[in-house]
Structures are given as structure tokens and as C-alpha cells.
Amino acid sequence: MPAQQNRPSSHTTSSSSGGWNSRRVAVSALFCALAIVASFIEIPLFPPAPYLKYDPSGIVGLVAGLAFGPAVGSCVAVLPWVIHLFVEPFGAVMGMACSLAAVLPASLVYRRRHTRAGAAAGLALGSVVAIVVAVAGNIVITPLYSGVPVDAVVALIVPVLLPFNLIKVVLNDVVCWLAYKPVSDMVGR
């Protein structure tokens, strides 16, 4: 009987090929747990609209997406909002859509261009997509959820929705930019 060649089975993955190993699963779970905790921290950033609250879970999703790719970033971006669906469905759907809209483009661009410029371009693209999703989502979902006329929501775009979401994405991007390298080094990407 010939000696079995030492090659990986088609049913295994390795971290060197971007696959999963126990360490990567554990670190991804830690990112998910951190994002869940962060999603319960609600900060009213914009005094004209105190009902719009910022939570730092988007930072965790962005760092996870840059460090481990779009799949992990997407899980970390979505999972906290699944929990919130049971308490506040409107906010959870909006949070999920906006987080995913920021994390997916950022992590996809960075995976393709694994440089500081690629990270900056990805974060910028993710910010633009997240703002578009937030505004469009408010135009569609707010009237359905709260009965506010579409015209009233459209009137809030420039004075409320754009400034709030701009502050949110800039804050997420700046903290992610500062935290990514130290966190990535610490978890031994």
C-alpha cells in the first residue's frame, strides 16, 4: 500500500489559506461578543435628534472585517442586531443594514488592496455606502414603522440624517483606523 501523501484533505481548512481554525473561530466569537456588548452602549451624539443614538459596535465590525475578512466582519456587524430585533425591531433592522453597508465594502476593498491606502479607500467607500443605506432606509422604514409621512422624513435628510450619520461613520472610521493595527497584532492575525 503506497504511503499516504501529506496534503490537506478537501474537508479541512487552514488559516494560511484564509480558512478557519480553532483560534480564528475563538477570536471571531470574541469579536462578536464585544460587538454585542458595544451595541448596548447608546450615546446621543446629535442634540437636534436625541432619538438617534450612536453605538460603537460598528467599530468592532470594521476591525473584524479588516483583520479577518468580509465573512467575519459581516457576522460581527449583524449578530448584535439580531439580539436587538426582539426589543426594538426598527432600530435593529436599520442598525443591521447600516453596519453591514459599512463593513462589507471596507473589508472587500481591503482584502483586494491590503495596504494602508486600501484600508483608507475601503473605509471611505463603506462610509458612503452606509450613509446612503441609512438615508434610504429612513425614507422607507420610518414611515412604515412610525407612521411619519415620507415628506417629513425627506425634510430631515439635510438637517438631521446626514449630519448624524456623517458623525457616526467618521467616528467609526477614525477609531477603527487607530485600533486596527494594534488589535490585529494582538490577536495574531
Q: Is the pTM of this model over 0.75?
A: yes
CA distance 77 to 79: 6
Identify the CA nearest to 33 among candidates 80, 101, 92.
80
Question: Any idea where the domains of the chain sit in the sequence?
Answer: 22-187
Class of domain 22-187: mainly alpha
Short-list 184, 28, 186, 47, CA closest to 116 = 184
Using one digit for the tens of pLDDT, what is the confidence trace for 130-179? 999 999 999 999 999 889 999 999 999 999 999 999 999 999 999 999 99
In this predicted model, what pLDDT tens digit does every residue of 10-56 receive, in sequence order? Answer: 434 444 555 678 888 999 999 999 999 999 999 999 999 998 999 99
Question: Locate cell 490537506: which residue?
Answer: 8
Residue 169 has a pLDDT of 98
The whole-number pLDDT of residue 11 equals 36
pLDDT in tens, 85-136: 999 998 899 999 999 999 999 999 999 999 999 999 999 999 999 999 999 9
